[in-house]
Structure 1
Amino acid sequence: MLFSLFHFLSGYCRIVLSGMNQERFLNLCAAKQILLWNIKREGKHYIFYISRGGYKELQEISEKTGSTFRCIQKKGIPYLFCRYKKRKCFALALLFCTAIFIVMSCFIWQVQVTGSYGHSEEELLDYLEKKGVRSGTKISGFSCARLEEQIRKDFEDIAWVSCERKGTLLRVRVKETLDKRDQKEGEMQESPCNLIASKKGRISSILVRSGSAKVKKGDKVKPGDVLISGVVEIKDDAGEIAEETLVRAQGDVYAISKIKYEDHFPLIYYKKNYTGKTEKSYRFLINGYTIKMPERKTAYAEYDEQSREILLHIGPQFYLPVSLFVITKAQCQISKENYSVSQAKKEARKRLFLFLKEYERKGVVILKNNVRIDSDKNECTAKGIIKIKERVGKVQEIPSTLDGEKDIKQEPAVLNR
């Protein structure tokens, strides 16, 4: 690859060698250290490639050996410039395009956000725009590390974020979790704090990293109850409290709780039957401005419309501030249908599965599903109680003094003894 690029920049020729003493001709080229490559024998001729500098020395070797040579092809930048040297407009246009290419490579032209469920892509893009990250942001004044830190700070439910810039494309990937607020405040905050219950439940397990446990497995808690205290008591040999220390309470507390589930939908629904006929139209989005291409009025009375965005780019990393939207209109016939009892229950189970899947994605464990599905003539109803296990710890700051009477020493962390 580098070999071909070097010769394209310096220029090279394709030569046909004929006549007598052809082997001596090639040997003299080797003696003079003239680089030849891709040498092939075709009938009574040799065909090979030679650099632009070596081509100038072939005439002298040809006179010594009596061989004749003919250039059948010239390639490379020098020959390209010689071909178009009289076309000044072409040269100026080439220089202008090169300058535009260099200037545009100094900016971010496309921003992508992926991995978010709780926040829509439009919401995150609006947030990034308020932070000054948009199409046209200068690369030199942009920091991926700073942006990652800002997103983690402003979105408590985003546990992990990665900002990666490839050329003129900025790709932001996020991962959400239900416990981000507890993790962030419990592990990063410097001030002393307690870990309190965020909801009602029965404790299933508790692991203390720092602080003092105030509950045990099997205890029932309600919102606001202290689970792990940030006040650690240090006792002397007599078993009396000698000192109290404030720390940042840290740990994993899981509780079993119940959630109510209710869903209902009518048995009558509308089904789309596609005919296979489609129409396509195109639109360009240039740095926020939409340009509609001419299109004829659709002949379909009923159709389903889908849009697909194509980011235009030169090579794998040079993305342009231009997107092509391909809008497909698929003709369909809408018919009124009715769920049977078995179909309705199957649809209800599907909707329940998606509901539970969303909870599981957030780290919640489904222990028991007591949802009952019933169907009458008009609608299908799903109701019941779902037993779950989830983290319930929530950070609550505590003052550096208790009851305003005595100061308590603060330490970074003390393991539960």
Structure 2
Amino acid sequence: MRCVIRNLRGVVLVSTDNPAPERFFNLCRMKKIRIWDITKTDKGCQFSIGAADYLQLKEPLKKCGMKLVILRKTGLPFFMFRYRKHYSFVAGMLLAASLLQIMSMFVWEIEVDGNSYYTDNVIVSYLQGNDVYVGCRMSKVMCDSLEQKIRKDFDDITWVSAEKSGTKLIVHIKENDGDNVAGKAKSPSDIIASSDGVVESIVTR
């Protein structure tokens, strides 16, 4: 994340032939000028600095009698300056980036996995009835709450897990593979086998 922010603000890679730039770095620290990626070279060192901070180096350089050589400029400000005459191109890139960011905030695909008895359409229709549909905001989809609702409303679904993957909502389900119980006793009762059993062996431990 820090690298992205730095590139948005612009980064300048510079070098100096001063063999002892410690005083310069101390002055930069006092002025809260951030410097990183300091690397020694044969004649001195090179380091990276933000584009805005680079403009504040005049005083520290003058006090130390140092000179800097710009090796490379990277980041959004320099990119836009390089293509400043092509406003439509830059505007198009910014617009495309904005649209991608906005589109990533919505659900564009719903996938159902593990179902056999219930079809995809049944599950998707149920989700639509709970305000989860293609085109809804991803932030509105509460996976934990959705899982509880599905388990409550579908007796044959024994396990469910909902997850967000990019702009896709994936619903994993596991259905009851056993035989359905014909009815449930409303009062306490004994369980009696339909036929007698014979004990063939007993293993003691």
TM-score tier by shorter-chain length is: 0.7 to 0.9
1:127-276 aligned within 5 A: 127-131=122-126, 133=128, 136-139=134-137, 144=143, 145-146=145-146, 149-150=149-150, 153=153, 155-178=154-177, 182=181, 194-195=184-185, 211-216=187-192, 218-220=193-195
SS in 1 for 2:68: strand
Residue of structure 2 in register with 1:124 after alignment: 119
- Aligned pairs for 1:18-417 within 5 A: 18-19=17-18, 22-116=21-115, 118-119=116-117, 124-131=119-126, 133=128, 136-139=134-137, 144=143, 145-146=145-146, 149-150=149-150, 153=153, 155-178=154-177, 182=181, 194-195=184-185, 211-216=187-192, 218-220=193-195
Q: Which has the higher helix share?
A: 2
CA RMSD of aligned residues (A): 3.3
For residue 138 of structure 1, give the secondary structure of its aligned residue in structure 2: coil
Describe the superposition over 1:78-122 as per-residue Cα deviations: whole angstroms up to 9, x where unpaired.
222222232111122123213322342243222222223x43xxx
Compute the TM-score of the two structures, normalised by the length of structure 1: 0.39
Residues in 2 aligned to 1:65 and 1:143: alpha-carbon distance in whole angstroms = 59
Q: Select the structure with the greater relative contact order (CA < 8 A; seq sep ≥ 6).
A: 2
Find the counterpart in structure 1 of residue 203 from structure 2: none
User: Does the C-alpha gap of structure 1 residues 72 and 109 become closer, same or farther in structure 2, counting only changes over 3 Å?
Assistant: same
Shift of 1:49: 1.2
- Equivalent residues, number: 191
Q: What corresponds to 1:414 in structure 2?
A: none
Residue matched to 1:371: none
The code of the aligned residue for 2:135 comes to: T
Identify the structure with the greater strand proportion.
Answer: 1
Could you say if the C-alpha distance between residues 180 and 110 of structure 1 is closer, same or farther in structure 2, counting changes exceeding 3 Å? Answer: farther
Identity among equivalent pairs (%)? 26
Structure showing greater radius of gyration is 1
CA deviations on 1:246-286 (whole Å, 9 max, x unpaired) are xxxxxxxxxx9xxxxxxxxxxxxxxxxxxxxxxxxxxxxxx
Deviation at 1:146, TM superposition (A): 4.8
3-state SS, counterpart of residue 84 of structure 2: coil
CA distance in 1, matches of 2:5, 2:60: 25
Unaligned runs of 5+ in 2: 198-205
- Segments of 5+ residues of structure 1 without an aligned counterpart are 187-193, 196-209, 221-255, 257-417
After superposition, the C-alpha distances for 1:25-68 in whole angstroms (9 at most, x for unaligned) are 33433343322222222111211112223211223333333322
